[in-house]
């Protein structure tokens, strides 16, 4: 059986010091071990089959996931999501992370680079890491929560800017509003379930997490709940902005239609008059009079002015 090529593999001591390990050697751990893999590794499935229960392996290899925490035979199956901060990526296209957590081991699998986990990997390469799996999981959740909060605040600032510009609502404002609503909806889709997952972590019944870390996770769950509320508020504000833009557009269209209707009403009798005098039949008055055209023009102008005056007097203009 071929051994997968891990993104990171460390033996971590009780004091947080790290030592890179070769998975093929099965070296004894000084405290606990962390192995991090890319889901696309072709040898990962076979290796997991020899390391964990088939149900755990299936959860780690799942193509589609949602945030969850499930206890299973002395460990935790954890699936979390983080905002996508990779270059040229949209933050709302969240990156999934699958973990198997026990008191002596963590196996993590991802599809795309996740900055919160990458920061822990960099620290481990420098020789320091959380001293226990519980501390590692707490630091990971805190990093994910912090980055989600940052993106949520950026969305709120964008909503504030749209509210200020909505007084001069135009088509571009409507497009920006729609695009931002779609981004918030995508982000909310996973942040809500993630709050529930973190709350379950905070009330872990397997003993994997100590009370101290549970308190930190409860605080992270509270922060995630606030983020969910902020996203919901931003989405509601965007709906109000969109309604304002739509109402402004409808009012402008109605005003323009009204003006066109008034203009049509003014020119209707003039059109009738010019049409009547445009027929080529015998007996038309003025055909031999040199001032007939001037008289007809003056009459039409007088009718138009009179109709305009009547509309102003009736308050229709």
Per the domain annotation, does 263 fall within a domain?
Answer: no
Per the domain annotation, does 269 fall within a domain?
Answer: no
Per the domain annotation, does 268 fall within a domain?
Answer: no
Distance CA 30, CA 18 (A): 9
Per the domain annotation, does 272 fall within a domain?
Answer: no
* One domain, residues 242 and 283: no
Kindly report, residue by residue over 14-64, the tens digit of the pLDDT.
Answer: 888 999 988 877 666 678 999 999 999 999 999 999 999 999 999 999 988
Under 8 Å between Cβ of 204 and 216: no
Kindly report, residue by residue over 102-137, the tens digit of the pLDDT.
Answer: 988 999 999 999 999 999 999 999 999 999 898 999
pTM, full prediction: 0.76
Domain count along the chain: 2
Per the domain annotation, does 256 fall within a domain?
Answer: no
Under 8 Å between Cβ of 20 and 10: yes
* One domain, residues 25 and 82: yes
Per the domain annotation, does 2 fall within a domain?
Answer: no
Give the residue numbers spanning the domain of 291: 277-313
38 alpha carbon, distance to own chain's centre: 25
Is residue 265 over pLDDT 60?
Answer: yes
* One domain, residues 67 and 174: yes
* pLDDT value of position 213: 73
**Which residues sit opposite 78 in a β-bridge?**
69, 99
CB burial class (10 A; 0-12, 13-18, 19+) of residue 221?
Answer: buried
Per the domain annotation, does 56 fall within a domain?
Answer: yes
* One domain, residues 170 and 294: no
* One domain, residues 200 and 306: no
In angstroms, the first-to-last Cα distance of the chain is 86
Under 8 Å between Cβ of 96 and 81: yes
Is residue 1 over pLDDT 70?
Answer: no
Per the domain annotation, does 270 fall within a domain?
Answer: no
């Amino acid at each position: 059986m071929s051994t997968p090529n891990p993104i990171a593999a460390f033996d971590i001591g009780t004091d947080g010091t790290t030592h890179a390990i070769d998975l093929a050697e099965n070296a004894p751990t000084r405290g606990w071990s962390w192995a991090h893999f890319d889901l696309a590794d072709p040898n990962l499935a076979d290796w997991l089959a020899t390391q964990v229960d088939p149900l755990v392996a299936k959860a780690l290899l799942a193509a589609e996931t949602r945030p969850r925490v499930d206890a299973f035979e002395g460990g935790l199956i954890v699936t979390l999501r983080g905002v996508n901060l990779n270059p040229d990526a949209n933050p709302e296209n969240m990156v999934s992370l699958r973990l198997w957590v026990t008191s002596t081991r963590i196996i993590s699998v991802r599809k795309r680079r996740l900055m919160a986990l990458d920061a822990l990997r960099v620290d481990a390469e420098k020789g320091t890491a959380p001293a226990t799996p519980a501390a590692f999981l707490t630091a990971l959740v805190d990093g994910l929560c912090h980055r989600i909060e940052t993106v949520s605040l950026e969305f709120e600032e964008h909503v504030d800017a749209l509210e200020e510009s909505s007084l001069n609502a135009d088509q571009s404002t409507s497009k920006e509003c729609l695009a931002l609503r779609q981004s918030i909806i995508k982000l909310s889709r996973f942040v809500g379930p993630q709050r529930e997952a973190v709350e379950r972590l905070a009330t872990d019944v397997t003993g994997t997490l100590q009370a101290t870390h549970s308190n930190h996770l409860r605080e992270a769950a509270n922060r995630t709940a606030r983020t969910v509320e902020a996203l919901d508020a931003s989405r509601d504000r965007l709906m109000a902005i969109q309604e304002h833009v739509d109402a402004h557009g409808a009012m402008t269209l109605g005003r323009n239609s009204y003006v066109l209707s008034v203009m049509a009403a003014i020119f209707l009798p003039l059109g009738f008059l010019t049409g009547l005098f445009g027929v080529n039949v015998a007996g038309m008055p003025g055909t031999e009079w040199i001032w007939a055209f001037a008289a007809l023009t003056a009459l039409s102008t007088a009718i138009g002015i009179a109709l305009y005056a009547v509309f102003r007097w009736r308050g229709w203009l």
